[in-house]
Amino acid sequence: MSTEQPHRSRRDFLYGLGAGIGAVALSSLLGCDPAEITPEQVVKAIENPLQAKPPMFIPKAKACIFLTMEGGPSHIDTFDPKPALEKHHLSKFTRQGEQFSAMSSGNRYIVRSPFTSRKVGQSGADMSAPFVHLAKVADEICFYRGCQAESVNHPTAMYQLNTGNQFGGDPAIGSWVAYGLGSYNENLPAFVVLPEVAFPQGGSANWSNGFLPARFQGTTFRPQGTPILNIDPPPGVSRYHQRASLDLLRKYNEEHRAGQANQDELSARMANYELAFRMQMEVPDVINIEDEDEKTKELYGIGQTETNAFGRKCLLARKLVEKGVRFVQIYSSGWDSHDYLARAHGSLIKSIDQPIAALITDLKRRGLLDETLVVWCGEFGRTADNGIREGGIAYGRDHNPNAMAVWMAGGGVKAGHTIGATDELGQEAVEVVHPISDLHVTLLHLLGLDDNRLTYFHGGRYKQLSQFGGKLIRELV
């Protein structure tokens, strides 16, 4: 019997690796064909999976700021006005087969928008009257009216928007971006989340790493007070002492990990100690918006009651992408306006209008808008009709997954265009219609990532953000 060992290709060797980040996923992690991976890349990827990686093709965008309007903003009352609603106002709605919120009951009536709308910018984009500041940067925006969600419930719709999976447990889009591209700055997280005081429906699973290595989970910054607690060492503790303590802790942890196979969370915890140590040097300057000049703070509405909170988050997002963070997600909550639409949406629009316009303006003047993709959307849209409340004066709108408002700016999108359309009443998308999975594919594409190649082996198969594949929305690019 021959004792000669069979020849093993480099591909076979790499697929046989079993350390840390997952053998079968290594080729996806590095963003290239397994046969092209060098041993040096293997070592570096295992030691630091957040190292900056080359995109799969030359992108326009290097980072993304995702403005998430949790609750479902009404497209009809923001960027997709429907004049026909005026004619049908308070007419009984009798259309059969429509999908309504579980909260809806009794007779339903078509209701007009409480806001007027007008054409803005040289592009003639539609925008409701409460958007005063955003109108000034309308020509930087690509409005998309063809997107559709699949769920009518907030938690499942939020999970789908953020992870592609209505049932949660999968990686967030920010985690996929961090996994595919790594970070430009090893002293900061690649994926940062700026939530409200109350987390969105579905909680922290909206920025989970899912089945990806734990290091790709989103890092939350506090919405009030100091964004990160305990970032400064205690009095009397020098960086030398901290470094010595961490080295000793790392030694003990590595000894413990040696006997624990596939302990990804332990490896991530060890890496987070090191990241926290490095963040002590970088973060204080990044999160300190007080060092910005007064004109910049005034631009974002900082110091004004209505805009201060969201303005601070938008300014912080600009500082984070400027320092190399790949994906920043900002939350604005409270858009679930089943009644008192004028009051609720009016107040929320006022809180975000100036800060978002300032973000686009600030990115552009710093030469960052072309390489920063800004996205605005909620988890679904709203209906043209509603069950009328007392006296018909407190009407709002219910959940509508068949039509929603999405817009993007910078990062390679068609600025100054409105793509797609909804029907006469805004009930359903009818032109350039695509599901959220296709929106995900498009966002990854703008960042230089191919959804079909950005995969991770889990549960017996290769998985991707779009779940089972999606299409690029070419009209947006």
CATH code for the domain defined by 63-228+284-450: 3.40.720.10
> Under 8 Å CB-to-CB from 296, ≥6 apart: which residues?
315, 362
Could you tell me the residue ranges of all domains in the chain?
A: 63-228+284-450
Neighbours of 436 (CB within 10 A): 26
pLDDT tens string for the chain (477 positions)? 444 444 545 544 444 443 333 333 444 444 444 455 555 554 455 556 668 889 999 998 999 999 999 999 999 999 999 999 999 888 887 654 444 343 344 578 899 999 999 999 999 999 999 999 999 999 999 999 999 999 999 999 999 999 999 998 999 999 999 999 998 888 888 999 999 989 999 999 999 999 998 889 999 987 776 666 555 666 765 655 656 666 676 676 777 767 665 666 666 666 665 555 555 555 656 678 888 999 999 999 999 999 999 999 999 999 999 999 999 999 999 999 998 999 999 999 999 999 999 999 999 999 999 999 999 999 999 999 886 655 556 789 999 999 999 999 999 999 999 999 999 999 999 999 999 999 999 999 999 999 999 999 999 999 999 999 999 999 999
Instruction: Look at residue 183 in the predicted model and tell me its pLDDT.
Output: 86
Predicted pLDDT of residue 170:
97
Helices 308-322, 341-365: axis angle to 10 degrees equals 30
User: In this predicted structure, what is the pLDDT of residue 199?
Assistant: 94
DSSP string, 182-199: --S-TTS-SEEEE--SSP
CB of 442 closer than 8 Å to CB of 425: no
* Residue 222 pLDDT: 79
Residue 327's DSSP bridge partners are 64, 191
Q: CA–CA separation, 206 vs 62, rounded Å?
A: 22
At 91 the pLDDT is 85
- The model's pTM is 0.82
